[in-house]
Amino acid sequence: MNVMEMIPAAEKAAELMRSLSHPQRLLVLCALGKEEKSVAQLRQELGIEQVPMSQQLMRLRADALVEARREGTTHYYRISRPEVLVVVEALHAAFCAVPKGAGRPRPGSEKKAAT
């Protein structure tokens, strides 16, 4: 593979990673996943105040990672590019997924309480 041919792709990937580099923006994209959600839904799910939520959504729109539509006074957002969802899902699998068997103690590994 010719490395010189990878330069444009590397630049696009770096742009995407810069957009994802803020924890709140990443959380918004994780919360959206394959769904469309209103700003109110996102705020409630993530516990982010109005001003920071607006700032992060504005940045995500400017970077063309999300699209918005308006219905009355409600704004709905969704991920606009399939590669964004692929990266978000990969990050979720690497950092958030519960390892297989986690959450259940192995037989015989329970500690007895001292009396």
Rounded CA-CA distance 58/63 in Å is: 9
Confirm if 46 and 77 have CB atoms less than 8 A apart.
no
Rounded CA-CA distance 102/53 in Å is: 33
Interval 26-79: pLDDT, tens: 999 999 999 999 999 999 999 999 999 999 999 999 999 999 999 999 999 999
Query: Which residues are registered as beta bridge partners of 71?
Result: 74
Provide the 10 A C-beta neighbour count for residue 28: 27
What pTM was estimated for this model as a whole? 0.79
* Domains of the chain, start order: 22-91 (1.10.10.10)
